C-alpha cells in the first residue's frame, strides 16, 4: 500500500516539474524578435542625414533642379564669348604704289576673316598685264585659287576676297581680265556669299551689266529675293557707283533701290575717292574710295543726308560683326580712327 502511494506521489511531482519547465519556453516565444528594432533605427538614421544621401545616391534628373551647373555654364560661355567676324572694305585701290601698299599693310594688321571691295580693282584700264601687280601683289594671301606671281606661304585654300566690279575694270574686254582672275560665285558679276553672321551681296551697277541695273531688272529682282531669303543678322550690300555721294562724281539715282525695304543692313560703294557716311530712311550708306588710287577728290555738293566726310588721307574700313551688333570703322593708313558706327539687332 505504501509503495503504491509513493509511486502516485512521484508521478504528481514529475508532472509539476514538467509544467514548470514548459512555461518559460512559452513566454520567450511570445516576445517580438530582437532584430526588428535595430533595423528600424538604422533606416531612420540613414534617411535623416542629408550628407549620406548625397554621397550614396548618384545625381538624377528627378533630384537635380533644371537650372543645373552645366546648363548655367554653357549659357555664360556663349554670352561671354559671342562669335565674331572681322572684315575689311577697300575701294578704288588697284594701282600699285605706296598708298595701296600702306593701306594693304593696315588691312593685314587687322588679320580680317575676309576682304570686300567697292570696285576699281585694276587701274587704269582693267588690263591682263596689270591685274596681278595691282591686286595679287598686295592681297594674294586672300585670293583662292591664286595662280599669279605673288604667292606666299600664307596663301589660303578658301577664297576670302570678294570684289565688286568698277568702271575701270570694264575698259578691257568688258571686264574679262577680272572675270578670269577671280573665281567667284554665280555669274561672278553679281553674287552673294554668307559668312555667318554676315551675308554679303555684291551688286554690279555698271551700265554694261547685261541683267540690268535698275530695281526692277533681273539683277534687282535677284537682290530682292536673296535679301528676303537670308536669315543672317546682317545683310551687307556693296557696289561701285554710290546711290548717294557728296563727292566729285555725285550720286547715282538709278542705284537708289529700296534696300531698306528689302532688308539690307547697310549699303557700301566707292567711285568717289573720299570717305563719307550718310543715312537715308534710317539705313546707313557709305562711300569708301580712298584705298590707294593717288587722286583724292573734293566734296562738291553736300547732301542733307551726309553725316561724316573725310578726304585728307587714304584708308580702309574695318567691320566687326556678332549676332547682336555690327561696328563700322574708317581708319587711315596711319591708324587714325576717323569714324565709327555701331548697329544692334534691336535697332
Q: What is the pLDDT of residue 152?
A: 83
* pLDDT digit string, tens, across residues 306-342: 999 999 999 999 999 999 999 999 999 999 999 999 9
Q: What is the pLDDT of residues 61-117, one digit of tens each?
A: 322 233 322 322 222 223 344 689 999 999 999 999 999 999 999 999 999 999 999
Bond preceding residue 31 cis, omega within 30 of 0: no
CB 278, CB 250: distance < 8 Å: no
Distance CA 316, CA 90 (A): 5
Q: Give the integer Cα–Cα distance in Å for 223 and 239.
A: 12
DSSP letter for 186, please: T
**Which regions of 69-216 does DSSP assign to beta strands (E)?**
85-90, 114-117, 161-162, 191-195, 198-202
CB 322 within 8 Å of CB 84? yes
In this structure, is residue 257 part of a structural domain?
A: yes
For residues 137 and 31, the model is more confident at 137
Count of the separate structural domains present in the chain? 1
Exposed/middle/buried for 64, CB within 10 Å: 0-12, 13-18, 19+?
Answer: exposed
C-alpha closest to that of 134 among 113, 148, 145: 148
Q: Is residue 53 part of a domain?
A: no
pLDDT on residue 155: 65
Please indicate, yes or no, if residue 42 is contained in any of the structural domains. Answer: no
Asked, for residue 218, whether it belongs to a domain, the answer is yes
39 within some domain: no
Q: Work out the percent of the chain whose per-residue pLDDT is above 90.
A: 73
Name the residue among 127, 125, 146 with its Cα closest to residue 136. Answer: 146
Is 336 inside any structural domain? yes
Q: How far apart (Å, rounded) are the C-alpha atoms in residues 235 and 301? A: 29
Give me the phi and psi of 254, to 5 degrees please.
-60, -25
Query: What is the maximum alpha-carbon separation in the chain?
Result: 161
Q: Are 260 and 281 in contact (CB under 8 A)?
A: yes
Report residue 161 as a C-alpha cell: 576676297
* CATH number of domain containing 163: 3.60.21.10
Cα distance between the two ends of the chain? 131
Domain contains 118: yes
Structural domain containing residue 249: 85-344
Residue 171 within any structural domain of the chain = yes
Amino acid at each position: 500500500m505504501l509503495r503504491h502511494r509513493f509511486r502516485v506521489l512521484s508521478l504528481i511531482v514529475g508532472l509539476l516539474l514538467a509544467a514548470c519547465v514548459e512555461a518559460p519556453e512559452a513566454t520567450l516565444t511570445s516576445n517580438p524578435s530582437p532584430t526588428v528594432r535595430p533595423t528600424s533605427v538604422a533606416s531612420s538614421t540613414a534617411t535623416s542625414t542629408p550628407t549620406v544621401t548625397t554621397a550614396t545616391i548618384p545625381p538624377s534628373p528627378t533630384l537635380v533642379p533644371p537650372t543645373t551647373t552645366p546648363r548655367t555654364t554653357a549659357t555664360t560661355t556663349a554670352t561671354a564669348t559671342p562669335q565674331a567676324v572681322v572684315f575689311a572694305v577697300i575701294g578704288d585701290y588697284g594701282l600699285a604704289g605706296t598708298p595701296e601698299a600702306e593701306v594693304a599693310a593696315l588691312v593685314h594688321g587687322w588679320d580680317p576673316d575676309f576682304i570686300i571691295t567697292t570696285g576699281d580693282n585694276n587701274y587704269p584700264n582693267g588690263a591682263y598685264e596689270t591685274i596681278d601687280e595691282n591686286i595679287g601683289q598686295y592681297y594674294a594671301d586672300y585670293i583662292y585659287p591664286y595662280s599669279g606671281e605673288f604667292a606666299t606661304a600664307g596663301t589660303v585654300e578658301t577664297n576670302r576676297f570678294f570684289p565688286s566690279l568698277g568702271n575701270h575694270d570694264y575698259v578691257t574686254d568688258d571686264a574679262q581680265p577680272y572675270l578670269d582672275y577671280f573665281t567667284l560665285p554665280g555669274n561672278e558679276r553679281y553674287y552673294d556669299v554668307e559668312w555667318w553672321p554676315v551675308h554679303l551681296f555684291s551688286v554690279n551697277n555698271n551700265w554694261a551689266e547685261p541683267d540690268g541695273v535698275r530695281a526692277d531688272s533681273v539683277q534687282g529682282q535677284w537682290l530682292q529675293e536673296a535679301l528676303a531669303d537670308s536669315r543672317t543678322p546682317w545683310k551687307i550690300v556693296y557696289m561701285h557707283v554710290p546711290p548717294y555721294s557728296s563727292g566729285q562724281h555725285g550720286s547715282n539715282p538709278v542705284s537708289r533701290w529700296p534696300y531698306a525695304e528689302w532688308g539690307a543692313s547697310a549699303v557700301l560703294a566707292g567711285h568717289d575717292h573720299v570717305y563719307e557716311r550718310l543715312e537715308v530712311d534710317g539705313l546707313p550708306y557709305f562711300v569708301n574710295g580712298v584705298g590707294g588710287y593717288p587722286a583724292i577728290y573734293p566734296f562738291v555738293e553736300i547732301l542733307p543726308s551726309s553725316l561724316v566726310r573725310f578726304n585728307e588721307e587714304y584708308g580702309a574700313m574695318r567691320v566687326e560683326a556678332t549676332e547682336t551688333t555690327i561696328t563700322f570703322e574708317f581708319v587711315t593708313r596711319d591708324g587714325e580712327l576717323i569714324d565709327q558706327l555701331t548697329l544692334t539687332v534691336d535697332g
